Amino acid sequence: MRLHEYQAKDVFADAGIPTPPSALATTVEEVVEQAEEIGYPVAVKAQVHVGGRGKAGGILLAEDETEAREAAEDILGMDLKGYTVEKVLVEGAVDFKNELYVGVTMDRGAGQPVAMVSTQGGVDIEEVAAEDPEAIAREHIDPAFGMHPYQARKAVYDAGVPKEVARDVASVLTTLYDLWEDTDASDAEINPLMITEDDEVIAADAVLNVDDDALFRHADLAEMEDEAAEDDLEAKANEYGFDYVRLDGNVGIIGNGAGLVMTTLDLVDYYGGEPANFLDIGGGAKAERVTNALDMVFSDENVDAVVFNIFGGITRGDEVAKGINEALGQFDQIPKPVVVRLAGTNAEEGREILNDELVTVEETLEGAVQRTVEYAEDEQ
Amino acid sequence: MSILVDEDTRVVVQGITGGEGKFHTKQMIEYGTNVVAGTSPGKGGQEVAGVPVYDTVEEAVEAEDADASVVFVPPAFAGDAIFEALDTDLDLVVAITEGIPTQDMAKVNKRLTETDTRLQGPNCPGIITPGESKLGILPGNIFSEGNVGLVSRSGTLTYQVVDSLTQRGIGQTTAIGIGGDPIIGTSFIDALEAFENDPETDAVVMCGEIGGEDEEEAAAYIAEHMDTPVAGFIAGRTAPPGKRMGHAGAIVSGSGTGTAESKIDALNDAGVPVGDTPEEVADNVEDLL
């Protein structure tokens, strides 16, 4: 789960990392009110999950009320790389002389956490990593012990952080690691960590991505999930407990098992279609999950045809077939054509159960995908 | 011949009294797996499908002289269950459980450097040596005995490819699912090395997917160390960056690492044909044999 900046900043501030005064606003009047309260100059920052917000016009500075009003009018409701901005963070602008980067993430190759510090903050850190990897100091952490204090100091010295602030930056990094661990985060980042003229350090941005698989032990963070979701369909998928990713195409895809669903997407593309989504109904799916899955895919207005691809291991073909009949039986008219391919456990029984008037049955994966792509083209 | 498991492997099922554990214990026994014990804290002394249940893995291993365990414990407790198994002298621990927090697995990963026990998974379908033994949830009926080894990050994709092979009369020595999580025990390279050393395995199928760099590392290994020919498949060509495609490990990072393209290129460079469709993978295996 990816938190919004304002959510992440709350978590960082609670842990003791210095952040500028800020408040969330959803209307122009609220922006002006909050700006008055915080004191000018302020930054008005779009709260959407988009990289490079600043360059795209999603962050504006305001010196006074007129500028705050203009910034709010510009940003609220704007389309930022496909996302409509509904919330902005109004934040006291920080006068800085330096911008650093600090972050903690899981290095999956090494199978252990890594803490990172760089003096090239305020820019896309992935670009820095690609072009000048030496500019980022990295310290791998033994997760059984946590980060030793010397490791935080070492990362800060290795990165060449100015002496005057080294101790404070090391302290921020230590706090960041602890909160990364405490929140079961996958990534915790501050970019930029600003250094003021008075050598104070302040987190001007905050990134916190939490491991979805660990949300069961973080009720407080799980509560933020609905607010963090950006897409109605993705919110619905959370509710149903599906792994779902929305894409741009018009061929709806339902399957079991991540690798096989990805392969089905790839085949749709291979045969000239465009996938509308990734939807994994998981292992052992029963009739109700099948009904919910069809509901999900039909809710996407872009979908022109649906391919249902099940290879039964734990999942039983007859159960899936019953679910498909039940779900489609509820419609007077099937919204979009559905092609079904069943293989593996009880697949034959399943194919016998399926109602030919409701769905098209195909024996092979390749055949099912080609047929669905044709249907989707015909519907357009 | 086969790798890692055969008809003599003595298996403990961790979490044997749960729904999944119970169901798949019966399935494994039916397939011919030598299931000698199960564990479930507080349920010691009971029996499941005729298999004695113990409170701890240590007791089960000592009493029944087990070699391997298979973990069906729910995700919140699975990290602990793996630690428990690693504290015995088992040769192999197969973790089926999906959804174990990554930070729990980072701690397990550290422990693995201190033990000789091999971990397979988590979030995997298990391992099967057709006609002899299966540990996990793989549907036994689609596999057949033969001379092709298979290693994959995904369960149902494995079934899809195996089905294509079996229907052409191409059987398997052993099929091993290494799991779709970011941190796993047995890697592609570990499995490839075992297949290379198995005289019965004449070709290997490797099914990878987007995310991480394991496939690239495996490609380098194949180029340098393998005489046995390998056919490849990579899932996730159409996955957009930054979106997790079901598996926690299947994500293309914003900086463009972990893409299908980079993996396919690396495999091609290592002389591995990569099929566009599962059927094409089976075609390639036929050619290699």
Long-range contacts of A57-64 (CB under 8 A, 24+ apart): A58/A85, A61/A93, A62/A35, A64/A40
Strands A96-107 and A112-118: antiparallel
Query: Do A216 and A287 belong together in one domain?
Result: no
| A248 plus A372 within the same structural domain | yes
Question: To the nearest whole number, what is the mean pLDDT of chain B?
Answer: 94
Respond yes or no: is residue A326 known to be catalytic: no
Question: Are A128 and A249 in a shared domain?
Answer: no
Q: Residues of B with CB below 8 A from A245's CB? A: 240, 243-245
Whether residue A37 is found in the same domain as residue A74: yes
- What residue of B is the nearest CA neighbor of A215? B101
Q: Is A149 domain-assigned? A: yes
CA distance A64 to chain B (A): 36
Q: Does residue A43 form part of some domain? A: yes
pLDDT tens, B243-271? Answer: 888 887 888 776 667 899 999 999 999 99
Q: Identify all chain B residues contacting A214, using CB atoms and an 8 Å cutoff.
A: 101-103
- CATH number of the domain at A339, please: 3.40.50.261
Q: What is the pLDDT of residue A272?
A: 96
Tally of residues, chain A = 380
pLDDT at B16: 98
Per-residue pLDDT of chain A (380 residues; tens, 9 = 90+): 889 999 999 999 999 999 999 999 999 999 999 999 999 999 999 998 877 788 889 999 999 999 999 999 999 999 887 788 999 999 999 899 999 999 999 998 899 999 999 999 988 888 888 888 899 999 999 999 999 999 999 999 999 999 999 999 999 999 999 999 999 999 999 999 999 999 999 999 999 999 999 999 999 998 887 666 667 788 888 888 888 999 989 999 999 999 999 999 999 999 999 999 999 988 766 778 888 999 999 999 999 999 999 998 777 888 889 989 988 888 888 889 999 999 988 888 999 999 888 999 999 999 999 999 999 999 87
Looking at the domain assignment, is residue A281 inside a domain? Answer: yes
* pLDDT at residue B106 greater than cutoff 80: yes
Pick the last residue of a domain from A197, A222, A247: A222
**Is there a domain that residue A51 lies in?**
yes
Q: Are A324 and A297 in contact (CB under 8 A)?
A: no
- Arithmetic mean of pLDDT, B271-277: 97
* Residue B250 near residue A262 (C-beta atoms within 8 A): yes
Structural domain that includes position A69? 21-92
Nearest-CB residue to B110 (from A144, A184, A186):
A144
- Quick check: helix, strand or coil at residue B229? coil
Six token digits for residue A219: 């009720």
Tally of structural domains, chain A: 3
The count of CB pairs under 8 A between chains A and B is 170
Question: Among residues of chain B, what percentage have pLDDT more than 90?
Answer: 89
Domain assignment of residue A38, yes or no: yes
The sign one gets for the Cα dihedral A1, A185, A22, A55 is negative
Q: Where are the domains of chain B?
A: 10-120, 139-288
Is residue A16 assigned to a domain? no
Selecting among B247, B249, B250, B266, the annotated active-site residue is B247
Fold of B139-288: Rossmann fold (3.40.50)
Q: Is the Cβ pair A261, B246 closer than 8 Å?
A: yes
Enumerate residues 6+ apart whose C-beta is below 8 A from A30. none
| Residue where a domain stops, chosen among A181, A196, A222 | A222
In a domain, residue A340? The reply is yes
Q: How far apart are CA B63 and CA B60, in angstroms?
A: 5
Helix, coil or strand: residue A64: coil
Residues A148 and A212 grouped into a single domain? yes
As a whole number, mean pLDDT of residues B205-234 equals 96
Task: Please report, for the domain that includes residue A110, its CATH number.
Answer: 3.30.470.20
With beta carbons less than 8 A apart as the criterion, state whether A308 and A323 touch.
no
Q: Where does residue B79 fall: left (phi above 0), alpha (psi -120 to 50 degrees), or beta otherwise?
A: alpha
Residue B126 counted as an annotated binding residue: no
Domain end residue (candidates: A74, A92, A110):
A92
Q: Are A267 and A372 part of one and the same domain?
A: yes
> Do residues A58 and A78 both lie within one domain?
yes
Q: Alpha-carbon distance A111 to B108, whole Å?
A: 9
pLDDT at A283: 72
| Arithmetic mean of pLDDT, B95-107 | 96
**CATH of the structural domain B10-120, one choice from 3.10.400.10, 3.40.190.150, 2.40.110.10, 3.40.50.720:** 3.40.50.720
Same domain, A79 and A126: no
